[in-house]
């Protein structure tokens, strides 16, 4: 086991200034879109649902007139039937509409709402109403675009389960159990984040120190919970020691991560079919080392300020031991209308074969997730936020000190997002329809 000093600089307003430049740049280069944003906000103050449908119908009529297409008849509810909108040019028109709506949301929120929790303040009620109208219009417009938008308006947004494997058998030559120091802080931070986003924490709090069979049974019960039928997404977090493709329980028994994921596929979790499923892991994926490489960047490296503090802690040590078992999944029957493996988002702290760092104040991976979500969940979809997380963590370093040689080495880690989604996952915090 190596002694580590994890350099985790405090972001504060630095993170906001660095990453909000994305929104400010977009706004500056699309000033002609501001009029659209104003129109959408005005519509929110009158009859949002009617105006949204009329706006989408009007857009189709304009496109039909320009391209000599026959306008489809609305269905019994007065809404244009999605199946009729199959023309490639029409989809591109709605893709452009999606882009403009995202800019409108950015114009409305990026400078006024620096943290999605501010949307809950009474003083920002009017802004929240406008955001709600734009968010729903974004979702409805996505039905006709090449890339749709997941529906995410339920209250609560979904169920979230957190499992923290905190205590492990004593390391070789020692008698006291090993504690994954700092992981309690990670669990606490995630609980606060999910509650702020109005996810219901399963069991009311984090599950701690589960044996393999208990963990799998707990996850299976969670996956089949009928409450998923009422909500629009779910979140699963598992923290512990791990290796490539596995996580170890508190007795050191390996659990196949793919086995866990399969518990939530379309056959095993029918209440989650067509809904985004976010999996977050805080565990090593191997024991190799990433010492970083030099690179040339003509732009200022905004995501790596001078460290303002360092935290001394234990580095997560792993053994390069391959997974012993892989769960094989049969192909979906021909009657399935969507793959059983669709709509997964897997966010890992590092790439395969590499370790993950952890400090006394928690891990820089979970720390960065929380900071990015608070500041951008109302502005960006999950894949865009994951890109921010990957970039920020990859440019932060931690320092390990070998107990025998006292040699100090600077190391890096690169988070990874793996997805099977077919739509954009906007979390739309504080928006309930």
In a domain, residue 136? The reply is yes
Residues 66 and 175 occupy one common structural domain? no
Task: For 137-164, write each residue's pLDDT tens digit.
Answer: 999 999 999 999 999 999 999 999 999 9
In a domain, residue 254? The reply is yes
114 DSSP assignment: S
Q: How far is CA 179 from the centre of its chain?
A: 27
The span from the CA of 148 to the CA of 94, in Å, is 10
User: Which of 3-12, 86-95, 127-136, 176-185 bottoms out in mean pLDDT, i.e. has the lowest?
Assistant: 3-12
Which pTM was predicted? 0.75
270 Cβ partners below 8 Å, 6+ apart?
Answer: none
Residues 325 and 233 occupy one common structural domain? yes
Top pLDDT among 4 and 277 is at: 277
What residues pair up with 304 in beta bridges, in sequence order?
none
- Total domains present in the chain: 2
In a domain, residue 372? The reply is yes
Residues 127 and 232 occupy one common structural domain? no
Query: What number is the average pLDDT over the span 163-181?
Result: 90
Residues 326 and 379 occupy one common structural domain? yes
- Structure token pair of residue 222: 């969670």
Residues 238 and 363 occupy one common structural domain? yes
Three-state helix/strand/coil letters over 372-394: HHHHHCCCCCHHHHHHHHHHHHH
Residues 162 and 136 occupy one common structural domain? no
Domain boundary among 98, 122, 142: 142
State the first-to-last Cα distance of the chain, in angstroms, to the nearest integer. 51
Contact 60, 85 (CB under 8 A): yes
Domain boundary among 79, 113, 142: 142
In a domain, residue 238? The reply is yes
Residues 134 and 208 occupy one common structural domain? no
Q: Is residue 288's pLDDT more than 60?
A: yes
Q: Helix or strand or coil: residue 247?
A: strand
The span from the CA of 299 to the CA of 177, in Å, is 47
Residues 163 and 237 occupy one common structural domain? yes
The span from the CA of 189 to the CA of 115, in Å, is 15
Task: For 195-209, write each residue's pLDDT tens digit.
Answer: 999 999 999 999 999
Nearest to 119 by CA among 430, 432, 379, 433: 430
In a domain, residue 216? The reply is yes
Alpha-helical runs (H) found in 143-248: 183-196, 212-224
In a domain, residue 297? The reply is no
Nearest to 272 by CA among 432, 137, 154: 154
DSSP string computed for 280-334: EEES---S----------SS--TT-PPPS--EEEE---------S-----PPPPT
In a domain, residue 418? The reply is no
Residues 326 and 359 occupy one common structural domain? yes
Residues 187 and 265 occupy one common structural domain? yes
Radius of gyration of the chain, Cα coordinates, nearest whole angstrom:
23
In a domain, residue 1? The reply is no
Residues 77 and 166 occupy one common structural domain? no
Domain boundary among 113, 142, 171: 142
User: Which of 139-148, 329-338, 348-357 bottoms out in mean pLDDT, i.e. has the lowest?
Assistant: 329-338
Range of the domain at 381: 153-288+315-390
Pairing of strands 233-239, 158-164: parallel
Residues 127 and 214 occupy one common structural domain? no
CATH number of residue 234's parent domain = 3.40.50.1460
Dihedral (Cα; 214, 218, 219, 221), 10-degree rounding: 140
Task: For 207-240, write each residue's pLDDT tens digit.
Answer: 999 999 999 999 999 999 999 999 999 999 999 9
Task: For 76-107, write each residue's pLDDT tens digit.
Answer: 444 444 444 455 678 889 999 999 999 999 99
Task: For 408-420, write each residue's pLDDT tens digit.
Answer: 888 899 999 999 9
């Amino acid at each position: 086991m190596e002694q580590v000093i994890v350099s985790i600089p405090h972001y504060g307003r630095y993170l906001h200034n660095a990453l909000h430049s994305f929104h400010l740049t977009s706004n500056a280069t699309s000033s002609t879109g501001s009029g659209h944003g104003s129109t959408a906000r005005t519509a929110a103050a009158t009859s949002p649902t009617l105006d949204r449908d009329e706006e989408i119908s009007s857009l189709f009529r304009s496109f039909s007139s320009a391209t000599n297409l026959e306008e489809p008849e609305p269905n019994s509810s007065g809404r244009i039937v999605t199946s009729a909108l199959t023309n490639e040019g029409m989809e591109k028109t709605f893709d452009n509409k999606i882009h403009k709506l995202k800019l409108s949301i950015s114009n409305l929120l990026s400078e006024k709402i620096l943290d999605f929790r501010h949307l809950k303040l009474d003083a920002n009620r009017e802004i929240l109403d406008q955001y709600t109208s734009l968010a729903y219009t974004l979702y409805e417009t996505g039905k006709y675009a090449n890339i749709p938008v997941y529906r995410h308006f339920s209250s609560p947004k979904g169920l979230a389960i957190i499992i923290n494997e905190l205590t492990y058998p004593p390391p070789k030559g020692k008698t006291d159990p090993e504690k994954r120091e700092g992981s309690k802080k990670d669990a606490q931070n995630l609980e606060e984040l999910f509650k702020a986003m109005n996810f219901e924490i399963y069991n009311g709090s984090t599950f701690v120190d589960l044996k393999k069979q208990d963990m799998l049974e707990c996850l299976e019960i969670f996956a089949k919970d009928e409450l998923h039928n009422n909500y629009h997404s779910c979140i699963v977090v598992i923290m512990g020691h791990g290796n490539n493709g596995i996580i170890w329980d508190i007795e050191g028994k390996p659990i196949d991560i793919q086995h866990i994921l399969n518990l939530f596929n379309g056959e095993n979790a029918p209440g989650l079919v067509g809904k985004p499923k976010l999996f977050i892991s805080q565990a090593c994926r191997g024991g190799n080392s990433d010492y970083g490489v030099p690179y040339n960047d003509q732009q200022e490296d905004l995501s790596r300020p001078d460290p303002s503090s360092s935290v001394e802690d234990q580095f997560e040590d792993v053994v390069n031991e391959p997974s012993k078992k892989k769960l094989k999944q049969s192909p979906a029957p021909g009657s399935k209308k969507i793959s059983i493996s669709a709509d997964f988002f897997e966010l890992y702290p590092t790439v395969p074969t590499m370790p993950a760092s952890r400090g006394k104040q928690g891990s820089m991976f979970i720390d960065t997730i929380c900071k990015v979500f608070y500041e951008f969940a109302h502005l960006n979809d999950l894949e865009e936020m994951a890109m921010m997380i990957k970039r920020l963590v990859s440019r932060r370093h931690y320092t390990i000190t070998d107990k025998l040689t006292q040699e100090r080495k600077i190391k890096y880690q690169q988070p990874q997002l793996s997805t099977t989604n077919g739509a954009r996952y906007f979390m739309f915090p504080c928006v309930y329809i």
